[in-house]
Amino acid sequence: MRTVAEFRIEYLRQLSPQGRPLDELPAFAADNEELLKMFAAMLRARTFDAKAINLQRTGKLGTYAPCLGQEAAHVGVGAAMRPEDCLAIVYREIGTLFWRGVSMTEVLLYWGGDERGNNFAVPRHDFPWCVPIATQTLHAAGAAMAFKIRKEPRCAVAYIGDGGTSEGTFYEAMNLAGARQLPIVFVVVNNKWAISVPIEEQTACETLAQKGIAAGIPGVQVDGNDVIAVRDCMSQALEKARNGGGPTVVEALSYRLSDHTTADDASRYRDEAEVVEAWKTEPMIRLRKLLESRGVLDEAREQAMKAQFTREVDAAVQEYLNTPRQATDAMFEHLYANPPPYLEEQKELARRYAGTGRPSH
């Protein structure tokens, strides 16, 4: 008997949970203004997140997927990407969207049931929200194939959650990416829970990063609460892909501090002591402590940032609430070049009953 192949998964971390550098930090981390920008992006996302939940609770927004506790995984990825790269999101990566230029109003419109919120003004080439699990990975793989065929120095990035890695679509996307050595990075945000199913019941794998091995794709695990480590890891993976080195699977270990969505009650299946422990290592703490140790962040400056972001969020909420509703015709647009007769009948029925409050049957 002989060994024909061996594999290993590395774990990356730059900062301890207390904000102490564990080794020499990457070059970008020497720039305090850049780190402040990343801290601000995380704080901005958290401020928006809290407001969006309140809007849902008061009936002004539909079901919403919070990102509390996962801001570092999102901002670190966004900071590593180039504007011309292509992003395929799931349904909670607002930190990445905001970094790339998507507006708060667009996000609110989408979760308010208005598809115009999916029509990002910036960046135009990123994919819209994707609630069906794992289908966005194939979209990203297709974009990456186009980049390779056109010989464009661009990369695709596909997010997926820990539960989504059990979907066949995810494996199909990885197989295509590995076989064709496509310029793509799969980012698995492992927040420990696929709604109510814990990671231990989802898979027998020691890591989710190793799921890429079967497709010939190297995997790496990173502390997803360490925004410096996430950015550095993603920068390396993207640079490799951009230079023809093929795809990477990056597993970012984090924790979902909130409910899965506003339609969920995590207290029914999750031990409160586990959540209390997770709060001790949440991502804002370590970067805050690092910046405080460098003398570039204090309580007054952070409070001023919070106040600024609260004003931004409030302005976006007003813009969202003041946006006129679309006509019912919008539901039928962009489906067919030549709509079938039954859709035309439905369109006319919707026009007749729009705003009447009466049932249409």
Residue with the larger pLDDT of the pair 325 and 308: 308
Distances in Å between the Cα of 225 and the Cα atoms of 14, 198, 216 are: 10, 19, 27
Strand partners, 184: 156
- Which tokens is 217 given? 């794709």
- At 240, phi and psi to the nearest 5? -60, -45
* 74 Cβ contact partners less than 8 Å away, ≥ 6 residues apart: 45, 67, 93, 94, 95, 96, 99, 189
Stated as kind and residue range, the H or E segment containing 346 is helix 341-353
Q: What is the pLDDT of residues 25-38, one digit of tens each?
A: 999 999 999 999 99
Q: What is the mean pLDDT of the chain?
A: 96
In the structure, what pLDDT confidence band is assigned to residue 353 with cuts at 50, 70 and 90?
confident
pLDDT of residue 358: 56
pTM score: 0.94
Residue range 200-207: mean pLDDT, rounded: 95
Catalytic residues: 256, 260, 269
In the structure, what pLDDT confidence band is assigned to residue 331 with cuts at 50, 70 and 90?
confident
Q: Cα(335)–Cα(340) distance, rounded to whole angstroms?
A: 10
Q: Cα(226)–Cα(253) distance, rounded to whole angstroms?
A: 9
Strand 184-190, strand 156-161: pairing: parallel
Q: What is the pLDDT of residues 117-171, one digit of tens each?
A: 999 999 999 999 999 999 999 999 999 999 999 999 999 999 999 999 999 999 9
Q: Is 200 exposed, middle or buried (0-12, 13-18, 19+ CB in 10 A)?
A: exposed
Residue range 262-272: mean pLDDT, rounded: 96
Q: Cα(8)–Cα(184) distance, rounded to whole angstroms?
A: 20
Model confidence at 359: pLDDT above 60? no
Residue range 283-308: mean pLDDT, rounded: 98
Per the CB < 8 A criterion, the answer to whether 93 and 39 are in contact is: no
Rg over alpha carbons for the chain, rounded to the nearest Å, is: 21
